[in-house]
Amino acid sequence: MSTVISVNRNESGIVSGGDYSVNQVQIMDDQKEYDINWETLHKEINMLKSNPDSFIKKFACEAGKAAEKKDKQGIISVLSKWLP
């Protein structure tokens, strides 16, 4: 199962991370400038850091570095890397 994940408009629900999935993060033209609620993002990342799964912890650490810098492109890059 593969899907296109539209930033701020993802209606697909569950995102597959299986071996044969090929997900794409897509920013629509009208989404070039969008606001990220950095406080909420930090809370979500901190919850992921406490997850027992080592891959989820590694993802959270990478996303956390970009979130600390409030780097929108960095967050998108991390998502693109980790969502197969």
What pLDDT does residue 26 have? 58
Predicted confidence (pLDDT) per residue in 8-52, tens digit: 454 555 555 556 565 556 555 554 455 788 889 999 999 999 999
* 56 neighbors 37 (Cβ within 8 angstroms): no
Give the Cβ contact number of residue 25 at 10 Å: 19
- Cα of first residue to Cα of last residue in the chain, in angstroms, is 11
> For the whole model, what pTM was predicted?
0.58
How many CA atoms within 13 Å lie on the side-chain side of 15?
16
Measuring CA to CA, which residue among 74, 80, 9, 77 is closest to residue 38? 74
- Weakest-pLDDT range from 28-32, 43-47, 63-67, 75-79: 28-32
Q: Which residue has the higher pLDDT, 5 or 54?
A: 54
